[in-house]
Amino acid sequence: MLWNAWENRDCQCLNSASIKLEGFGLYLLAGGVSIDALSVGFSLGIFVSRIVPTTLIMGTMAGTMTAAGILLGHRMGTVLSSKAEALGGIILLIIGLKIGLSIVP
């Protein structure tokens, strides 16, 4: 992401014409993104006794955060335009460094 933003290149695989978020493609995306929720569900099933309220709270928060991310992403993408890819790359790099440094004693 950072390299493409630095070189001012567009990734041809991610142009708006190739991404179809409708019909079956939307279900595939939702399923792929929700794989982590399956592992969280396994863990909750083992450790949490009040599953229904926990599931409702987590589902509400996940839906709210997803909607906020979509709206904020649309606005930030419009405002930042070409800088959005670089900002996303920097954020991912910071997250990766934080995770990597937390592993090292």
Q: Percent of the chain, pLDDT > 70?
A: 78
| Residue 84 identity | A
Asked whether the predicted pLDDT for residue 2 surpasses 70, the reply is: no
DSSP conformation letters of the chain: -HHHHHHTPPPGGGSTTT---STHHHHHHHHHHTHHHHHHHHHHHHH-S-HHHHHHHHHHHHHHHHHHHHHHHHHHHHHHTTHHHHHHHHHHHHHHHHHHHHH--
Asked whether the predicted pLDDT for residue 64 surpasses 90, the reply is: yes
Q: How many CB atoms are closer than 10 A to CB 85?
A: 22
Per-residue confidence at 61, pLDDT binned at 50, 70, 90?
very high
Asked whether the predicted pLDDT for residue 52 surpasses 60, the reply is: yes
